[in-house]
Amino acid sequence: MDRDALPAAGAAGTLGDRHVLRFTVPLGRPEEDVWPAVADRGGLASWLAAVDVLEPRLGGAIVLRGLDEPGGPAVSGTVTAWDVERVAEYSLRGDAGRLRFHLEPGEHGDRDATVLRVTHTFEGPDHLRRARLAAWPARFHHLATAL
């Protein structure tokens, strides 16, 4: 896969101060290779944020550090969805919001590829929405490199 050409279709919606960012990221790796990147301490740390705590189960604790900026503060939360090798969702405190990762087989059911659907829901001013919308493409390039 040409990592420099990683496509990510994105959409954003806003209602007042509530924002929903959605991305569809095709990855040229099977789901079992992508799952640890969204559901494992080391995997998340390789592309998203440092992970101080991750209890990989529904209701488990999660603590991410540097989600919005390198060296940034730790943000704690809860695992609010956990369907092994399919869905991991983390609801974080403050304006960090909710991160949902949903894995599907690649285009036309290709088991050697994965479609990663990412939804980031949060509340805050519009400048926060713009900053986060701009940050995700670079994260997806880091993800592709880490895989």
Which tens digit of pLDDT belongs to each residue from 66-117? 988 878 889 999 999 999 999 999 999 999 999 999 999 998 788 899 999 9
Kindly provide the residue ranges of all beta strands, DSSP E only, lying in 4-147, ordered along the sequence: 9-15, 18-27, 50-54, 61-65, 74-83, 87-92, 97-105, 114-123
Q: Do the beta carbons of residue 79 and residue 60 sit within 8 Å?
A: yes
- Retrieve residue 18's tokens: 């509530």
For the question of whether the overall pTM of this predicted structure is more than 0.85, the answer is yes
> pLDDT for 18-75, tens place per residue?
999 999 999 999 999 999 999 999 999 999 999 999 999 999 999 999 988 878 889 9
The residues pairing with 12 across neighbouring beta strands, listed in sequence order, are 21
Is 3 a residue whose pLDDT tops 70?
Answer: no
Spatial separation of the C-alpha atoms in residues 19 and 95, rounded to whole Å: 11
Give residue for tokens 């301490």. 41
pLDDT reported for residue 5: 39
Indicate whether 12 pLDDT > 80: no
**What is the token pair recorded at 14?**
């806003």
Q: In which band, very low, low, confident or very high, does the pLDDT at 15 lie, cut at 50, 70 and 90? A: confident
